[in-house]
């Protein structure tokens, strides 16, 4: 019996020791007064900054731009602008009825707004143009309204990690022609003259060409210089071209056809044609051909409506 009592006491003491040890191990660490360690509190100032994973791609850079700009990109271009072997991102984000142009470096370390257009536009497009002279891609920004003639373009370049503006916002739209040269398009209402109302009518789209001036670090317009008919006829195939135009434009009610001639330094020749009918209405269109080694190449086909002018842009002439 004594042994049994001793065994019961020993077990009771062991249980007390175990209970006290367990309670001491579950004590919580004290926290400073007025704070709490659960649940964690997130305030706007504690939101972590936007981070980019190593070697980000187009999708990651676009997400970074949109988060920083606070809006969705409506147009973007992912290309190697400075030919350093890595692609950068240019994006247009609509903020308060204006387009902000953002640049993001290839690693995402630089993400900043570099340009903003003036006025209201409802569409934007970003393209690029390779500059063989500078061995770099120039970034073309076009903003325009879906209705009417309200349009602007700008040209940017990336050099040593910084964006520079080669052409500030200028009226018209810019793009590449079939040979990769920079041209711009302007709009007018000069496709036909209505004798009854004495008004020029018909919506037209006309092109002019630009060239990069390295010394001025900008693009300038290549003027369409008006030349006399005698100079035009000295070009090989000129007589044949003129006959093609007059034959194709002569209709039953045609009373008169007059022509004018414009030649650009890049070899583009425009033959302007005014066709007058018997009641005094006039249609205006011009044919664009190429002059190589004093010879007109191609045929007079696919005319452009409107009236050609020596200057169509607000840029400086080369």
**Secondary structure of residue 293 in the 3-state scheme:** coil
Distance between CA atoms of residues 68 and 108, nearest Å:
12
Residue 194: which residues within 8 A CB-CB, separation 6 or more?
200, 201, 281
Domain final residue pick, 176, 202, 233: 176
Domain final residue pick, 117, 143, 176: 176
Distance between CA atoms of residues 23 and 11, nearest Å:
19
Does 156 fall in a domain? yes
150 and 241 in a common domain: no
For the chain, the domain total comes to 2
**By CB neighbour count within 10 A (0-12 exposed, 13-18 middle, 19+ buried), where does 273 fall?**
buried
Residue 108 scores a pLDDT above 90: yes
Does 113 fall in a domain? yes
158 and 88 in a common domain: yes
Q: What's this model's pTM, rounded to 2 decimal places?
A: 0.78
Distance between CA atoms of residues 75 and 153, nearest Å:
14
Which residues constitute the domain of residue 271? 225-305
Instruction: Note the pLDDT tens digit of each residue in 51-75.
Output: 666 779 999 999 999 999 999 999 9
Residue 78 half-sphere exposure toward CB, CA atoms < 13 A: 13
What is the widest separation between alpha-carbon atoms in the chain?
142
83 and 154 in a common domain: yes
Does 71 fall in a domain? yes
Q: Once rounded to an integer, what is the mean pLDDT over residues 19-30?
A: 41
Does 130 fall in a domain? yes
Residue 4 scores a pLDDT above 70: no
Percent of the chain residues past pLDDT 90, beyond the cut: 73
Q: Once rounded to an integer, what is the mean pLDDT over residues 201-224?
A: 96
Residue 261 scores a pLDDT above 80: yes
Does 4 fall in a domain? no
Does 1 fall in a domain? no
67 and 166 in a common domain: yes
Neighbours of 19 (CB within 10 A): 10
Instruction: Note the pLDDT tens digit of each residue in 220-255.
Output: 999 999 999 999 999 999 999 999 999 999 999 999
Mean of the per-residue pLDDT values of the chain: 86
Domain final residue pick, 113, 141, 176: 176
Between 24-33, 86-95, 116-125, 234-243, the lowest mean confidence (pLDDT) is in 24-33
169 and 65 in a common domain: yes
3-state secondary structure string across 71-127 = CCEEEEEEECCCCCCCCEEEEEEEECCEEEEEEECCCCCCEEEEEECCCCCCEEEEE
Does 68 fall in a domain? yes
Instruction: Note the pLDDT tens digit of each residue in 172-198.
Output: 999 999 888 999 999 999 999 999 999
**Is the peptide bond preceding residue 39 cis, with omega within 30 degrees of 0?**
yes
Distance of CA 33 to the CA centre of its chain: 57
Residue 227: which residues within 8 A CB-CB, separation 6 or more?
261, 262, 263
Q: Kind and range of the H or E element at 195?
A: none
Distance between CA atoms of residues 155 and 200, nearest Å:
32
The reported pLDDT for the residue numbered 53 is 62
The reported pLDDT for the residue numbered 52 is 64
Distance between CA atoms of residues 293 and 237, nearest Å:
12
Does 144 fall in a domain? yes
Q: Do the beta carbons of residue 114 and residue 127 sit within 8 Å?
A: no
């Amino acid at each position: 019996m004594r042994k049994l009592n001793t065994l019961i006491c020993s077990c009771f003491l062991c249980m007390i020791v175990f209970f006290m040890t367990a309670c001491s191990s579950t004590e919580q660490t004290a926290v400073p007064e007025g704070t709490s360690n659960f649940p964690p509190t997130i305030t706007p100032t504690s939101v972590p900054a936007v981070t980019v994973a190593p070697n980000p791609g187009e999708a990651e850079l676009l997400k970074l731009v949109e988060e920083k700009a606070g809006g969705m990109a409506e147009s973007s271009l992912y290309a190697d602008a400075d030919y350093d072997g890595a692609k950068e991102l240019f994006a247009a984000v609509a903020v308060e009825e204006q387009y902000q142009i953002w640049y993001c470096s290839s690693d995402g370390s630089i993400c900043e707004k570099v340009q903003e257009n003036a006025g209201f536009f409802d569409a934007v497009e970003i393209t690029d143009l390779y500059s063989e002279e500078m061995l770099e891609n120039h970034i073309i920004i076009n903003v325009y309204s879906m209705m009417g003639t309200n349009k602007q373009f700008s040209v940017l370049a990336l050099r040593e990690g910084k964006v520079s503006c080669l052409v500030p916002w200028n009226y018209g739209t810019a793009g590449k022609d079939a040979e990769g040269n920079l041209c711009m398009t302007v709009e007018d209402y000069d496709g036909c003259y209505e004798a009854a109302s004495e008004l020029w009518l018909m919506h037209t789209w006309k092109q002019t060409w630009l060239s990069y001036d390295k010394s001025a670090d900008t693009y300038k317009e290549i003027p369409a210089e008006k030349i006399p008919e005698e100079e035009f006829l000295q070009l090989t195939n000129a007589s044949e071209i003129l006959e093609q135009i007059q034959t194709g434009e002569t209709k039953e009610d045609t009373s008169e056809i007059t022509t004018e001639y414009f030649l650009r330094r890049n070899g583009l020749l425009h033959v302007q044609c005014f066709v007058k009918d018997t009641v005094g209405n006039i249609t205006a269109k011009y044919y664009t051909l190429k002059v190589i080694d004093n010879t007109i190449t191609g045929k007079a086909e696919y005319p452009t409506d409107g009236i050609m002018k020596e200057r169509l842009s607000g840029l400086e002439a080369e």
